[in-house]
Structure formats: C-alpha cells, structure tokens
C-alpha cells in the first residue's frame, strides 16, 4: 500500500493521491462508496478501524476529509451535507449567546440569512463591514467579537480582502478568522498559510465541479479542529458516502479545471470591457479592480467568476440573462458548464433592502470550461 503524499508534494499530486490509498483487499485505486450505516464491532466497545456508525465516520468521507486537509494545508478536514451546514456548525461551535460576528458587507446571501435571520434568534450579534478597509474592521471589532468572517473574492462583486492583514487584526483581538475559500479554491489561494484559523467551502462548487452534488467543508488545526469534529458528529449534518465520493472525484481534476476556468474568464473580461452595452466589469485580474494588487499577491490566478453591469438598468440586465444559450440561466457556480444569473433577483434576493443589497443592473457569470469562442459568440448575441 502506498502512503498519502505529504504537504511538500505538488498540488495536483495531493489532489489525486491524498486520502486515496489503494484498497488493501482488492487494490482498487478509487476509494469505494461505503454505503452502510453501521459497522461490525470487534467486541463490545471495540471499533474496527475506527468506525461504528456513519454519522460519526465513514471511510468514503474520511478519504475526502483527508484530501481537503491536504489541499488547504490544515490538520483536520470535515465534510458536510452543504456549505451552509458547514457554516452553521462552525458558528454554533465557536459562538455563544452575546458573541459578535463581523460579516463582509457584500457577503453571500445565504451566509447573511443564516446569521441575520437564524443565529440572531440565539443571541448572536453581527455587523456588516467593508473588510478590505482594515481600519474599518478595527473600528468594528468589539470585546465580544468572536468571528471575523471573510470571503475573498466576494460574491457577487468580487471584492478582495487582504487575508494576512485581516489575520493580524483577528489575532490582536482574540477573534477567529474564517475564510470562505469557495470562489478561489485551494488551487488559487491558501488562506491558512496567510493566517486564517478556519477555511470554509461549498464543495458543491469548484471542488465538486460537475453540478451533481451538494456539500460543504471545514478545515482547521489543533484543538479547534477537534472541537469542530465534535460538533459535526453532535449536529449530524454530514456528507453522505456517495456525495463524498463525487466531491473526491471532482477534486482530482481541480487544478486543470481551474486553469481553464481562469483562462476563459480572462478572455471574456477582455470582450466585456470593449462592449458598448456593458457598464462596469468586476474581475480581480483587472489592474483597476479594487484590491487587484492584493489578489495578485495572494492568488495564483484570478478565478472563473465575472460580474458586470448592463447599460439600460435592471430590466436590461434581466433580459440579457434570458437570451443566452450556452450560458445556462441558473444559480450556483463552479461547474464545468457556464452559468449566468441576475444576483438581485436570484442568489442575493434574500439581502434586498439590507446593507448587502446588490446593484439591480448586475449580471454574474460562472465561466465554464467550454471552448471560449463559443462562449464569446453566445454573449455577443445576448448583449446585442
């Protein structure tokens, strides 16, 4: 049996081999889907290989969790039934009534809804803040601030946050820095190497990569990792074995997919910049984009997400979303196929009327890995 590669191995090597030791019985190179709820014990209280019940642990999920930890450079990976299940477990594990959370002022709508409409009922307080302004972050921190929640790039305006700078503030104040790394993926960005305490993922997106699974993940170190593992088991929103298998399969091609996502996105940005129907283009790879220098420093490339405004206002933006053919009108992101959506009426409808409300003329693209000339032709037709 070969051993899993260490953190010194290259990213793609870890993506393919971490947690993926060949099956000792058959030599199968893929971890089997252990479709079982319970495991035969070696005597009363004697766990066979550490397994007793699949909520607590399942070999297929273990393989995924080992891969997640290896890719993010952490000690403990945990796989959940969805990204929000991971977020909910994390916040309930580390916060108590009266604690305070700093959120991005353009956070993912589902995260904002979880905090503002669910966790506040349990005594959690929150403040939206422009996280790229470190002085504003310092001013917003309270003695009760337990978590600084960061997304970079943000959804859908692709704002950039200096992770190392934010980590310094969190360490000074005793707060935990949580980084949602869903948009960047561990291939493009390594938050824990920059000082983050916890990394969050919706594995539904780029890690799964094929729009065929819903899942989430946490990665942490030391006692915090053990604390989160306890709450994962106690709260029970775990990834099932088939879902874990699908995410693990997707991870193996993450690096090569992200290279194509990024290359296609850069071509589409170039096209949008020159189109008369387009107002503003949001993309971290543009030198004029706020935080571009930070993104260039902490990211390998600039990602596959692009947002832009449409001249003519909200109705014109909605119309563009309905006129594409290759860009499928749909929520979510990070799959091999390209998606288009109107954030104000779709993914971010839940933040309408709040400080996190997004522009009505905004369109968001999740750029897939199709032939880019076909994608450009599709956008040309829709924008005309």
Known catalytic residues are: 55, 108, 180, 205
Place of tokens 């009505």: 360
Residue with tokens 């601030």: 145
The helix, strand and coil proportions of the chain, stated in percent and rounded to the nearest 5, come to: 40, 15, 45
Q: Residue 226 corresponds to which tokens in the numbers above?
A: 């053990």
Of 309, 300, 328, 307, nearest to 265 by C-alpha is 307
Give the position of tokens 């991005």. 104
Report the SS3 class of residue 356: coil
Residues 378, 324: contact at Cβ < 8 Å? yes
- Within 13 A of 100's CA, how many CA atoms are on the CB side? 15
Structure tokens at 347: 């993914």
> Which of 179, 336, 156 is closest to 259 using CA atoms?
336
CB neighbours of 319 closer than 8 A, spacing ≥ 6?
none
- Going 205 to 210 to 215 to 219, the CA torsion angle's sign is negative
CB contact at 8 A, 183 and 159: no
Encode 84-107: b = buried (16+ Cβ within 10 Å), e = exposed: bbbbbbbbbbbbeeebbbbbbbbb
Burial level of 15, CB count in 10 A (0-12/13-18/19+)?
A: buried
């Amino acid at each position: 049996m070969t051993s899993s590669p260490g953190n010194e191995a290259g990213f793609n090597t870890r993506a393919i081999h971490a947690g993926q030791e060949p099956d000792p019985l058959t030599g199968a190179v893929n971890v089997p889907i252990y479709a079982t709820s319970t495991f035969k014990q070696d005597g009363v209280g004697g766990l066979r290989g550490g397994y007793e019940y699949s909520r607590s642990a399942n070999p297929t999920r273990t393989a995924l969790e080992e891969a997640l930890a290896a890719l993010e450079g952490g000690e403990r990976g945990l796989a959940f039934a969805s990204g929000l299940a991971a977020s909910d477990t994390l916040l309930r594990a580390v916060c108590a009534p009266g604690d305070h959370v700093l959120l991005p002022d353009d956070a993912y709508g589902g995260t904002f809804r979880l905090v503002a409409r669910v966790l506040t009922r349990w005594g959690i307080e929150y403040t939206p803040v422009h996280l790229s302004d470190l002085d504003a972050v310092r001013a917003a921190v309270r003695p009760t601030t337990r978590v600084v929640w960061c997304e970079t790039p943000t959804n859908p305006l692709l704002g950039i946050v200096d992770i190392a700078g934010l980590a310094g503030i969190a360490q000074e104040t005793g707060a935990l820095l949580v980084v949602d790394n869903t948009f960047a993926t561990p291939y493009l960005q390594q938050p824990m190497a920059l000082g983050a305490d916890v990394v969050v993922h919706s594995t539904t997106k780029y890690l799964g990569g094929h729009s065929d699974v819903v899942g989430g993940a946490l990665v942490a170190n030391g006692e915090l990792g053990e604390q989160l593992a306890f709450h994962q088991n106690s709260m029970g929103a775990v990834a099932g074995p088939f879902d874990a298998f699908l995410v693990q399969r997707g991870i193996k091609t993450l690096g090569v997919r992200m290279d194509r996502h990024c290359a296609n996105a850069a071509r589409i940005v170039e096209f949008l910049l020159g189109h008369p129907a387009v107002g503003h283009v949001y993309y971290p790879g543009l030198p004029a984009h706020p935080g571009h220098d930070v993104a260039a420093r902490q990211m390998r490339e600039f990602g596959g997400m692009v947002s832009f405004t449409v001249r003519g206002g909200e109705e014109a933006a909605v119309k563009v979303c309905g006129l594409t053919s290759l860009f499928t009108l749909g929520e979510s992101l990070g799959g091999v196929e390209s998606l288009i959506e109107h954030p104000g009426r779709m993914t971010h409808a839940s933040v309408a009327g709040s400080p996190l409300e997004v522009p009505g003329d905004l369109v968001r693209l999740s750029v897939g890995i199709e032939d880019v000339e076909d994608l450009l032709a599709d956008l040309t037709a829709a924008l005309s």
